[in-house]
Chain A
């Protein structure tokens, strides 16, 4: 080994306990011999990283190492046998299924042999002659303002290599949708094509509008007199304000539909609707005339919207 434990985990001396754990976990995934049975270098890599982690995971041994009290040999690693050393034994009790089932396509096995041979012959499998593969996809998350996704927009993102790329947000993009930028991911191996950049769109909430598929939802406050007498009001839509006629005696939970005022999606003929939920609002300042009128009105009327409710509750 002889390496600095920080170096072995790819960290600096300033790393936090969380950084150390994260780095170790990542390396376990890529270097655990049992997770990579074909990788002959995995064992020595895993040994080095677990020795390094043994020193750094405990704040006390880490402090002692930093102070030069213990060297990087730290705690001697016990000899260990890995599961893969046993897994190939013919009497392995954990084998699933035996022999070639009738549904196994023999061609698959030959193909696998070829692939295995390719791996065993060269050192670095990626630089190996003839090995060509597409690069990996890289994933990003992009927060987009609500209206940009509704109307469509163009924005720029900066890739880790400093490159700026333009991302076109198509009209009607939904929350959670993923855009694919071909060839903007990780470079390919051995002359293979680069992978794609996959950008997951996260929509920023709008103070007024919500979205359900292609429909726009909003709540429109109306006064109680507008609810009783009806009237013309103005409602905002994503394309600007429109007039809306409130029918006389409208029910408080009525949802009005403005056809075609929802989201238009690129490549689709019909647009969604805007659904307007009405919310009856009582003035906060109640003047005498209103109070007098309602007091009189209450005396002469026995309108009880809860009559049925109380009856139903008893059954």
Chain B
């Protein structure tokens, strides 16, 4: 998979997406491509996000404001998950006695 996509390439790659729709998604900051001298540059994460936005807007009929709510909640969910992953890794790296005290503390809650 390519690393970067131009606006035209995005329209071709995400087949369901029209240019108007893409502009609206950008207006509402649902997708935030990087700005470069040659125009906007989209990353694979933006492509995946646009596919998701198409699913939500076309299949579930969400309008931009509902999309904003759903996407914001999803972003918060992923942020929380990342923080958890960081926390889990931190706990994994602790000496085993510390880990087991954490385990016990968790289980007694």
Q: Say if the beta carbon of B76 comes within 8 Å of chain A.
A: yes
Contacts of A88 in B (CB 8 A): 78, 81-82, 85
CB-CB contacts below 8 Å: A98-114 with B = 99-100, 107, 109-114
Partner-binding segment picked from A29-37, A175-183, A278-286? A29-37
Contact count A vs B, C-beta below 8 Å: 90
Compute how far the CA of A25 lies from the CA of B60 in the bound complex, rounded to whole angstroms.
Answer: 6
Interface of B is mostly: helix
Q: Say if the beta carbon of B69 comes within 8 Å of chain A.
A: no
- Closest residue of chain B to A81 (Cβ to Cβ) is B48
Pick from A35, A37, A85: contact of B81, CB below 8 A.
Answer: A37
Compute how far the CA of A246 lies from the CA of B66 in the bound complex, rounded to whole angstroms.
Answer: 56
Residues of A within 8 A of B (CB): 24-25, 28-29, 32, 34-35, 37, 80-90, 92-97, 99-100, 107, 109-114, 116
Compute how far the CA of A93 lies from the CA of B43 in the bound complex, rounded to whole angstroms.
Answer: 10
CB-CB contacts below 8 Å: B41-91 with A = 44-45, 47-49, 51-52, 55, 59-61, 72, 74-85, 87-88, 91
The answer to whether B59 and A96 touch across the interface, beta carbons within 8 angstroms, is: no
Q: Say if the beta carbon of B94 comes within 8 Å of chain A.
A: no
Compute how far the CA of A13 lies from the CA of B78 in the bound complex, rounded to whole angstroms.
Answer: 40
Contacts of B84 in A (CB 8 A): 109, 112-113, 116
Contacts of B32 in A (CB 8 A): 93-94
Pick from A24, A35, A94, A114: contact of B49, CB below 8 A.
Answer: A94
What are 16 contact pairs spanning A and B, CB under 8 A? A28-B55, A28-B59, A35-B74, A37-B77, A81-B1, A83-B51, A88-B82, A88-B85, A89-B45, A93-B45, A94-B49, A95-B79, A96-B76, A99-B83, A110-B105, A112-B84
- Chain A nearest Cβ from B10, distance in angstroms: 14
- Chain B nearest Cβ from A59, distance in angstroms: 18
Contacts of B38 in A (CB 8 A): none
Contacts of A90 in B (CB 8 A): 82
The answer to whether B59 and A86 touch across the interface, beta carbons within 8 angstroms, is: no
- Closest residue of chain A to B105 (Cβ to Cβ) is A110
Contacts of A86 in B (CB 8 A): 44-45, 48-49
Contacts of B102 in A (CB 8 A): 110
A81-B48, A85-B48 are known contacts. Are A34 and B75 too (CB-CB below 8 A)?
no
The answer to whether A37 and B78 touch across the interface, beta carbons within 8 angstroms, is: yes
The answer to whether A87 and B60 touch across the interface, beta carbons within 8 angstroms, is: no
Contacts of B82 in A (CB 8 A): 88, 90, 92, 95
- Closest residue of chain A to B76 (Cβ to Cβ) is A96
Compute how far the CA of A25 lies from the CA of B61 in the bound complex, rounded to whole angstroms.
Answer: 9
- Chain B nearest Cβ from A154, distance in angstroms: 41
The answer to whether A95 and B78 touch across the interface, beta carbons within 8 angstroms, is: yes
The answer to whether A83 and B83 touch across the interface, beta carbons within 8 angstroms, is: no
Q: Say if the beta carbon of B106 comes within 8 Å of chain A.
A: yes
Pick from A34, A85, A93, A116: contact of B74, CB below 8 A.
Answer: A34
Q: Say if the beta carbon of B109 comes within 8 Å of chain A.
A: yes
Compute how far the CA of A88 lies from the CA of B81 in the bound complex, rounded to whole angstroms.
Answer: 8
- Chain A nearest Cβ from B6, distance in angstroms: 18
The answer to whether A113 and B48 touch across the interface, beta carbons within 8 angstroms, is: no
- Closest residue of chain A to B32 (Cβ to Cβ) is A93
A-B interface, 3 closest residue pairs, ranked by CB to CB distance from nearest: A86-B45, A87-B78, A83-B48
Pick from B55, B72, B79, B91: contact of A32, CB below 8 A.
Answer: B55
Contacts of B76 in A (CB 8 A): 96
